[in-house]
Amino acid sequence: MSKIKQLLQLHKQGESKKSIARILDISRNTVKAYLEKLPHIQSDIDDLIALENPELEKQFHAGNLAYKEDRYVHLKNRLDYYSKELGRVGVTRQLLWEEYKVDYPNGYARSQFFFHLSQHRKAAKPTMILTHHPGEKLYIDFAGKKLSYVDRKTGEVVECSVFVACLPYSDYGFAIAVRNQSVEEFLYALGRCLHFLGGVPQVLVPDNLKSAVIKADRYEPDINTALEDFANHYGTTVIPTRPAKPKDKALVENQVKLVYSRVFAKIRNQRFFSLSELNKAISEKMLDHNQTRMQNKSYCREEKFMAYEKHHLSPLPNQLFEIKYYKTYKVQQNNHVQLGQDNHFYSVPYIYIGQKAKVIYTRSMIRIYIDGSCVATHRRNRTSNAYSTVKDHLCSTHKHYLNRSPGYYIRRARHCCEVLHHFTQLLFDQNRPPEQLYRTCDGILRLYSKTDKELFKRACKLAITHKIYSYGFILKLIKTKMVDHPEEAQKRSLPNHDNIRGEKYYS
């Protein structure tokens, strides 16, 4: 019970001012001041005692009289005008105060003017407490600062944008680094986030970034078509925040600050050589973040998410979503199609050279259609000025050229005959680059197909005997039919003659 009520009850019982002061341990002048106010209060003493303490105190303490002065009333009526003027270019509080003093010389000093103006502006924009339900929303944003890794091949420092998301009910967070903030990278990161959560929330709440919103509007923003396709695939809805209203997603803004201190700061001295290495480190730090006890709470974000929120999420679809792009190209003379996005070349069967091909590509795959049929499928390769070639797409001549090797020719010779197999092995055993011998093998194999097999075998044996591993030598043996008179080809001794000097000549 307040001392005012006790004072009134003792006064009603007939106690003197001195006695009341002694019982309540207050000064007699205080008791006197309260009792003098009673005649001015138009209420019975019993009614006053029945009031709640705040209402009773208001009867005896009318408030600060300064707020009833004429100068306050004058300022109060103009505070809306001053707040609006502050939004104009170049208008400051100092300028407004100077104009106020000219208009009302007996008004407040600068500090009091600033105080009342500040209080009015705060009261004009109260902060609303939002109630979040489990599994209802997922807030999405990109961090303003970037992380980076070093390209092993070039030594270039590659900067990456950091995608951040959180479920407002449990404040369970997710972060991943992507190459940039394009639609493709944004949807890839969002898909990874949903699979990390193990379910789909009812609403996706992105900021008004270009990857999500084509045209920002307070009431009816235009959502990116790709994001709408993504939402339809996962069975959810997209509701962007209002433009220039960061409080609409205050939790994810706070999540970004936490990512700065609990991820960026902790890996600042580490060096990474790929995007996957960078994301592995981010994942480890985010796990620590989600498992850290929250301030003034007995649980962590992960515990609250697993216990109260995860089972409220909708199940994930069976297939991953990949954004598709459509292009039309002409098949080049080398039976490849150039994807201009990456400046990379992909092969198609050579019979389609010169035809129009429709290319449908995603983040990971390339599919090439001609006349409504899929004629080629490739894994996407982002290496510039490079070729992805399937050997079955090449003509026989090109296949032969690519298949050439010593083993290839030795295997072909084995299928022909044992003598040719032995000859080919000896041919490649020479101390010569294999590339110089491929055309020799082509000529000998062609000669084998056009020549009598027994004649060809005898020519090969003769070439092996003389250790002359040449296409020209075998061709000459066959044309001149020297294989029919092997004794003539053998080395003969010199005939006797008189032109012999003898050993005495050289002594």
Question: Tell me: the pLDDT tens digits for 444-458?
Answer: 888 888 888 888 888
Counting Cβ atoms within 10 Å, is residue 119 exposed (0-12), middle (13-18) or buried (19+)? exposed
Does residue 129 lie in a domain region?
no
Same domain assignment for residues 301 and 340: no
Same domain assignment for residues 267 and 371: no
Query: What does the pLDDT read at residue 489?
Result: 44
Centre a 10 Å sphere on the Cβ of residue 224 and count the other Cβ atoms it contains. 22
Beta partners for 337? Answer: 346
Does residue 132 lie in a domain region?
no
Q: Which of 398, 421, 450 is where one domain is finished?
A: 398
Which is nearest to 205 in space by CA: 246, 239, 166, 233?
239
Distances (CA, A) of 361 to 17, 139, 377, 384: 94, 29, 10, 16
Same domain assignment for residues 292 and 164: yes
Does residue 506 lie in a domain region?
no
Beta partners for 178? Answer: 161
State pLDDT tens for residues 48-74: 888 888 888 877 876 565 566 788 888
Q: Which of 62, 81, 100 is where one domain is finished?
A: 62
Q: Which of 312, 342, 373 is where one domain is finished?
A: 312
Does residue 498 lie in a domain region?
no
Does residue 344 lie in a domain region?
yes
Same domain assignment for residues 173 and 260: yes
Does residue 447 lie in a domain region?
yes
Same domain assignment for residues 143 and 209: yes
Query: What does the pLDDT read at residue 213?
Result: 62
Counting Cβ atoms within 10 Å, is residue 201 exposed (0-12), middle (13-18) or buried (19+)? buried
Same domain assignment for residues 157 and 252: yes
Query: Containing domain of residue 267, as a range?
Result: 137-312
- Sorted by sequence, the CB contacts under 8 Å of residue 41 that are 6+ apart come out as 48, 59, 60
User: How many domains does the chain fold into?
Assistant: 5
Residues in the chain: 507
pLDDT band at 297 (very low <50, low <70, confident <90, very high): confident
Same domain assignment for residues 205 and 306: yes
C-alpha to C-alpha distance for 108 and 115, rounded to whole angstroms: 10
- Domain with 240 in it: what CATH number? 3.30.420.10
Does residue 131 lie in a domain region?
no
C-alpha to C-alpha distance for 476 and 71, rounded to whole angstroms: 124
pLDDT greater than 80 at residue 494: no
Would you give the distance in Å from CA 411 to the centre of its chain?
A: 50
Does residue 502 lie in a domain region?
no
State pLDDT tens for residues 117-170: 888 888 766 655 567 889 999 999 899 899 999 998 888 999 999 999 999 999
Same domain assignment for residues 74 and 99: yes
pLDDT band at 484 (very low <50, low <70, confident <90, very high): low
Same domain assignment for residues 381 and 420: no
Same domain assignment for residues 183 and 39: no
State pLDDT tens for residues 169-203: 999 999 999 999 888 888 899 999 999 999 999 99
Same domain assignment for residues 147 and 267: yes
C-alpha to C-alpha distance for 325 and 339, rounded to whole angstroms: 11
Which is nearest to 265 in space by CA: 288, 242, 295, 234?
288
Same domain assignment for residues 142 and 287: yes
